[in-house]
Chains A and B, each alone.
Chain A
Amino acid sequence: MRLVILDDYDLASEWAAKYIRNRIVQFKPSADRFFTLGLPTGSTPYGCYQKLIEYYRHGDISFKYVKTFNMDEYVGLPRAHPESYHSYMWNNFFKHIDIDPANAHILDGNAQNLEEECQAYEQKIAEAGGIELFVGGIGPDGHIAFNEPGSSLVSRTRVKTLAKDTIVANARFFGNDLSKVPTMALTVGVGTVMDAKEVMILITGAHKAFALYKAIEEGVNHMWTVSAFQQHPRTIFVCDEDATLELRVKTVKYFKGLMHVHNKLVDPVLSIKDQ
């Protein structure tokens, strides 16, 4: 893996956004060849989305030939609810960029048949040629998407019941009322994300430090599902200092020492204006 450590949240967000930008620009997407991007929600990727919007506004990047697949969505929450992941993606990303609505895919938590919805989603990903880059986050319990502790590490898109930790973590978005937090969600599986050509996990904040430790310094374990990516050929973990607080000093020093290599991935930062 690559462990990219930046000083703070803003720098980590910027590094991640630059990396995504470079990958898309280098790929030279076109009508015959879309760039497929997997996307997360939550407070961690917010800064990264802001930067991507900025790059779009400056004309350095376009999402016209980008297809996106979000990781998850709550079950039973009305789509127009301000806390639905559809609302999050519209307000924090889609409404600010030039993506074709037909290419923005999010699981429908209000589908008549949830299993069919999940299968159809896997199908859409396959039809799009697989995911080029899957961006994700990590939960305090080490989950990726809603693959809660105990999820199969080869799982596919399916319905999951949320763990207590996750519900508690999400309560702040529902007025701190645990009873208002949805209890089920549709999520891509660990296996689904593992199928992507490349995976980038964003991890910021001290409250995620222990999960990061479990994910990269301990063994592959279905209780800490992000650990599955130890077996992926191309994973990048982008963190801030605070997220590394539970790691060994040796690990942190090693990867910090590699920053000059990591930074070649984002410097120079590319633009479609130069193409």
Chain B
Amino acid sequence: MPSNKSVSDAPITQFINCRILRDNELQREDLWVREGRILDPEKLFFDEQGYADKRVDCGGSIIAPGFIDVQINGGYGIDFSQASEDVSDGVSFVAKKILEHGVTSFCPTLVTSPPEVYHKVLPQVKVHDGGPHGAGVLGFHLEGPFISAEKKGAHPEKYLRTFKSGGLEHLMEVYGSLDDVAIVTLAPELPGSQSVVRELSQRGITVSLGEHRVLLLVSESVSVQPGRFHALSNPSVSAVVQFHHRDPGIVGLLTSDRIPAGRAVYYGMIADGIHTNPAALRIAHRAHPSGLVLVTDAITAMGLPPGRHTLGQQVIEIQGLHAYVAGTKTLSGSIATMDMCVRHFKQASGCSVQEALEAASLHPAQLLGISPKKGKLDYGSDADLVLLDEGLNVKATYISGEEVWRKGQ
């Protein structure tokens, strides 16, 4: 019989026969959900004299907070940076598909583009909750155009920009609006960036440093800015970690003693086995395990079957986990899914199951400042869940306590 309804009429679901990720460990505990959030069963028992309406037998599965992908450029033939009339449909399509990978929230990412693209695309997609329709949109990740020409990687050089005087106003001119933006990647060594970083942080936007070679130089000033910093590893540079004893680069930032208390540095890594050297994964993980954020940085070709595909101006050839510019051996981007990244990260770094799962859930949530609502299974957290087997393969995905995907259905 359910509760005496002193607190709520809503039905209560109890997930049994499972191991849940809580307090940095896998615990053999049941998980209780009511009204889309994790419920404290002890309070339910003593305060409300209530118990579950429904029990879900998880068959020994692991339950982790739903994965959060903060860097994904598209997938299934859809390119978020394409200025089309129905961006919203495209984002929704991908949002629905990535539920299969255990992703319950994401940041659609736009690569360096001309202002027209931002002005067209940004207003079409608002921050919104996930559900049976797809993963929740936490806000856009704007990667560029304020990044350095030196390390531009795959970003088209002609659209790169520097800050004209008036920092934030210039940024607003380019983007049009920051209302539904969660992350901005920019180059901190560009003059004028400091005030921009400060103002973005004040608006609650996470600032990501898109250039790692001068990270240590900048970190002294970066570290006194308010906000969260996300040091991104540029995927087209094969050696992510450039370590020299007088210029420790990214490793130096990760282990810097100049990060003030209460601030944190996070760094994104694509653990697809191709774009990041396994040794780099291990070094970064060991240097600063609690800051490691797994991202897919998935391109349009993610999710498409092997073979040739014409995507916009390009022809891509998919072979296994590699996506090449057709007819060449040049990688065009990563197509690994988030759950693949979690599995590969665990295997390459030798980390524990808990650490691998936290890198895809807790850390991105902390990076965006949305923990513990997201990224955790604490009482009161949103019941966005991913059920996994021993090998960390996704068996089912839940958003707000509702099943939104199940393997085999």
Contact = CB atoms under 8 A, between A and B. Distances in A.
Interface string B7-48: 000000000000000000000001000000000011111101
B261 interface: no
A247 interface: no
Interface string B312-332: 000000000000000000000
A100 B51 CA distance: 8
A256 B321 CA distance: 71
Contacts of A87: 42
Contact of B49 (A79, A101, A106): A101
A227 to B, nearest CB: 34
Contacts of B41: 90, 95
Interface in A108-166: none
Given A87-B42, A90-B42, A95-B42, A102 B49 contact: yes
A86 interface: yes
Given A86-B46, A94-B45, A101-B45, 20 more contacts: A79-B46, A80-B42, A80-B43, A86-B42, A87-B42, A90-B42, A90-B45, A90-B46, A91-B42, A95-B41, A95-B42, A100-B1, A100-B49, A100-B51, A101-B44, A101-B50, A101-B51, A102-B4, A102-B49, A106-B46
Interface of B: 1, 4, 30, 41-46, 48-51
Contacts of A106: 46
A131 to B, nearest CB: 21
A183 B41 CA distance: 28
Nearest to B29: A95
Nearest to B1: A100
A87 B48 CA distance: 16
A135 B196 CA distance: 68
A56 to B, nearest CB: 14
Interface in A68-96: 79-80, 86-87, 90-91, 94-95
A120 to B, nearest CB: 16
A92 to B, nearest CB: 12
Nearest 9 CB-CB pairings of A with B = A101-B49, A102-B49, A101-B45, A90-B42, A86-B46, A90-B45, A94-B45, A101-B51, A95-B41
B268 to A, nearest CB: 37
Contacts of B45: 90, 94-95, 101, 104
Interface centre among A79, A80, A90, A101 (most CB of B within 10 A): A101
B4 to A, nearest CB: 8
Contacts of B43: 80
- Size category, A interface: 10 to 19
A106 B45 CA distance: 12
A171 B42 CA distance: 24
Contacts of A91: 42
A94 B43 CA distance: 12
A86 B44 CA distance: 13
A151 B65 CA distance: 52
A69 to B, nearest CB: 15
Nearest to B42: A90
5 contacts: A86-B42, A90-B46, A100-B49, A100-B51, A102-B4
B46 A101 contact: yes
A80 B44 CA distance: 12
Interface centre among B4, B42, B49 (most CB of A within 10 A): B42
Nearest to B44: A101
Interface centre among B41, B45, B50 (most CB of A within 10 A): B45
Contacts of B1: 100
Contacts of B50: 101
Nearest to A90: B42
Contacts of A102: 4, 49
A20 B4 CA distance: 30
A95 B41 CA distance: 8
Nearest to A94: B45
B362 to A, nearest CB: 23
A159 B97 CA distance: 61
Contacts of A104: 45
A90 B42 CA distance: 7
A91 to B, nearest CB: 8
A94 B51 CA distance: 11
Contacts of B48: 101
Contacts of B42: 80, 86-87, 90-91, 95
A80 B30 CA distance: 18
A152 B333 CA distance: 80
Contacts of A86: 42, 46
Interface in A225-254: none
Contacts of A80: 42-43
A218 B45 CA distance: 43
A229 B48 CA distance: 37
A56 B16 CA distance: 15
Contact of A95 (B4, B30, B49): B30
Contacts of B51: 100-101
A124 to B, nearest CB: 14
Nearest to A96: B30
A100 B30 CA distance: 17
Contacts of B44: 101
A87 B50 CA distance: 16
A79 to B, nearest CB: 7
Contacts of B46: 79, 86, 90, 101, 106
Nearest to B46: A86
B159 to A, nearest CB: 55
A91 B27 CA distance: 13
